[in-house]
């Protein structure tokens, strides 16, 4: 496969992530629709509404951690991505057919399971097609799908719901997921020519365990997970409540909400690259500074947001918080950044030898961060004031300073 073709695969993965994140914010917009709430008997209970997002995140986290090694070992990334997209399209279409909130919770959890392996399969493709010193750029490009998906998702779901109704929105989204997702995989996601065949001589469980075991020996794994839990808790603690906050407390229309909710994530696209540019200019030992400063600045912006009553200041602090959060994440290849901060030839050798396992468990850390943030989403949506959502996210963003400080103090 030539250089151009492998980049086609990276852009295909970017659009798959966009599709997935549009699907993820679907429920966050649906909970402002009275017909949807009445159909499932959710009423005005923020706690029950929050469990819909939590069910997805818990399923996502468990699948990223436990299911991914089986898919990677037994199927490879192309077939596993095909299965994942097929399942999440079918489950999205099944959501309006759930007869009760309990069945809807089950569908949401299974939807999370179906999307859970996505990031690990993405990084598996990239590590298969790019050398160790080339991983930063394709990871950065594909990671844009997170902010793009959220920026597109809020206004798109709002438009579909306003013009076609909440149930038809699910069906249209499912059809788009199925057609676009399967076409992208079939057209652009292909194994590299030099990919070795699966080692069928080893027992299946032994091969899966080897993948899982190698990944768990990743250097700096604990700190990577702490950073992911902090940053993803902010992401989901804020995005889960934002539509309801803008409509219920600030009186925005559905159209206005879609535009306003997307702006912070548009800003985060540029801020993420600013953080990456700063990270490139730092010495390896200084890399954790980007997490420390970004987390602290995010917490300060959240404090300003909570104490603002005017729309202009609310918009300013909302955009500033997301910009600081995105800049604090810096380079999407967080595993490499933290590894460089740790230093040491032994760690570097381990990273080079097991680089696929490193990225696989980094994706599992992403899943664990999402799963851990699910608890926060329930508490956020059950709060009397929806501004508690940013409070929860802000506390975790501030907590991002702890692992950063610990890394800076390492010899």
CA angle 99/103/105 to nearest 5° reads 130
Q: Are 164 and 96 in contact (CB under 8 A)?
A: no
Per-residue confidence (pLDDT) for residue 114, from 0 to 100: 93
pLDDT digits (tens, 9 = 90+) for 206-262: 766 776 776 677 667 777 777 777 777 777 777 777 888 788 777 888 888 888 888
Strands (E), 50-148: none
Report the alpha-carbon distance of residue 243 to residue 254 in Å, rounded: 9
pLDDT at 75 (0 to 100): 84
- The dotted CATH code for 3-191+204-408 is 1.20.1250.20
Tell me which H or E stretch contains 74: helix 68-74
| pLDDT tens-digit readout, 335-351 | 444 444 444 433 333 44
User: Structure pTM?
Assistant: 0.78
- Going by C-alpha positions, the residue among 57, 17, 409 that lies closest to residue 223 is 409
Low-confidence spans in the chain with pLDDT less than 50: 331-356, 358-359, 371-411
Which residues, 6+ apart, have CB-to-CB distance to 338 below 8 Å? 220, 223, 224, 227, 287, 288, 407
Taking the alpha carbons of 117, 123, 129, 131 in that order, is the dihedral positive or negative? negative
Q: Give the C-alpha separation, 61 to 64, whole Å.
A: 5
CB-based burial, 254-267: b 16+ in 10 Å, e otherwise:
beebbebbbebbbb
pLDDT given for residue 109 in this prediction: 94
């Amino acid at each position: 496969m030539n250089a151009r073709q492998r980049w086609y695969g990276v852009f295909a993965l970017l659009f798959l992530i966009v599709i997935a994140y549009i699907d993820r914010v679907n429920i966050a917009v649906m909970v402002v629709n009275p017909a949807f709430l009445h159909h499932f008997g959710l009423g005005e209970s923020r706690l029950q509404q929050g469990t819909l997002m939590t069910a997805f995140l818990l399923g996502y986290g468990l699948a990223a951690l436990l299911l991914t090694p089986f898919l990677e070992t037994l199927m490879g990334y192309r077939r596993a991505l095909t299965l994942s997209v097929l399942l999440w399209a079918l489950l999205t279409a099944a959501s309006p057919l759930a007869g009760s909130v309990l069945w809807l919770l089950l569908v949401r959890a299974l939807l999370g399971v179906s999307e859970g392996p996505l990031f690990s399969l993405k990084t598996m493709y990239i590590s298969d097609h790019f050398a160790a010193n080339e991983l930063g750029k394709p990871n950065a490009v594909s990671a844009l799908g997170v902010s793009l998906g959220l920026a597109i998702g809020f206004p798109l779901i709002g438009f579909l719901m306003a013009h076609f109704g909440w149930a038809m929105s699910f069906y249209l989204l499912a059809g788009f997921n199925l057609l676009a997702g399967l076409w992208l995989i079939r057209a652009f996601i292909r194994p590299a020519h030099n990919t070795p065949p699966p080692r069928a001589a080893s027992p299946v469980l032994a091969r899966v365990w080897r993948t899982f075991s190698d990944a768990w020996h990743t250097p700096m794994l604990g700190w990577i997970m702490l950073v992911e839990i902090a940053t993803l808790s902010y992401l989901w603690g804020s995005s889960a409540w934002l539509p309801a906050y803008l409509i219920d407390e600030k009186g925005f229309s559905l159209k206005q909400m879609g535009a306003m909710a997307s702006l912070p994530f548009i800003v985060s696209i540029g801020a993420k690259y600013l953080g990456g540019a700063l990270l490139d200019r730092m010495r390896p030992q200084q890399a954790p500074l980007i997490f420390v400063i970004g987390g602290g600045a995010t917490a300060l912006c959240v404090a300003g947001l909570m104490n603002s009553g005017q729309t202009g200041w609310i918009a300013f602090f909302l955009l500033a918080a997301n910009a600081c959060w995105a800049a604090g994440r810096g380079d999407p290849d967080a595993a490499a950044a933290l590894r460089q901060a740790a230093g040491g030839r032994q760690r570097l050798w381990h990273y080079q030898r097991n680089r696929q396992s490193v990225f696989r468990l980094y994706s599992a850390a992403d899943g664990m961060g999402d799963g851990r943030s699910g608890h926060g989403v329930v508490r956020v949506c059950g709060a009397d004031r929806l501004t508690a959502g940013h409070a929860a996210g802000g506390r975790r963003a501030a907590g991002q300073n702890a692992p950063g400080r610990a890394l800076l103090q390492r010899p």
